[in-house]
Copies of this chain bind each other. A is one copy, B any other.
Amino acid sequence: MSKTEFIAEPGKQEIVMIRSFAAPRAKVFGAHVDPLAIPKWWGPRIVTTVVDKLDARHGGLWRFIQRDPSGNEYAFRGVFHESRAPERLVRTFEFEMMPEHVLLETVDFEETGGATKVTTRSVFQTLAARDGMLQSGAEGGAVETWDRLEEFLKA
């Protein structure tokens, strides 16, 4: 069984993911807002991730570029609505090849006994957009990214 809880109820335009990491909250939060950390865990293993922008504050931009083994590049971007260290991030998310679709992502960090529970709640503009994301294999990618985060936090 995966350590990542991935919840996508039928008929709801959201995806919720939950996982506990054996690291203090400040470190887990930091991995999300540090431009030097992101390339070490964000995205699937097969791609290389470059941080173009990562400015975690109200109105700050983020933009990550992924390069696959064939040299193709794909970018993701968004805007931070909130960055309240080490508790919560609220930001928009867009895959630049599908600019019609924007989602709102809320990431909560809760510490209990030295471990940190991360809950990511992504809400989509429409149910169809949520279902499209599921069909694109979002679950596998998300689980792999969080496996990588766990390894990064242990290193």
Contact = CB atoms under 8 A, between A and B. Distances in A.
Interface of A: 11-14, 58-61, 78-82, 90, 92, 94, 99, 102-104, 106, 121, 123-127
B123 A13 contact: yes
Contact of A104 (B11, B12, B99, B102): B102
- Tallying the copies of this chain within the complex gives 2
Secondary structure type dominating chain A contacts: strand
Given A58-B61, A59-B61, A123-B124, A92 B81 contact: yes
A61 B57 CA distance: 11
A76 to B, nearest CB: 13
B79 A80 contact: yes
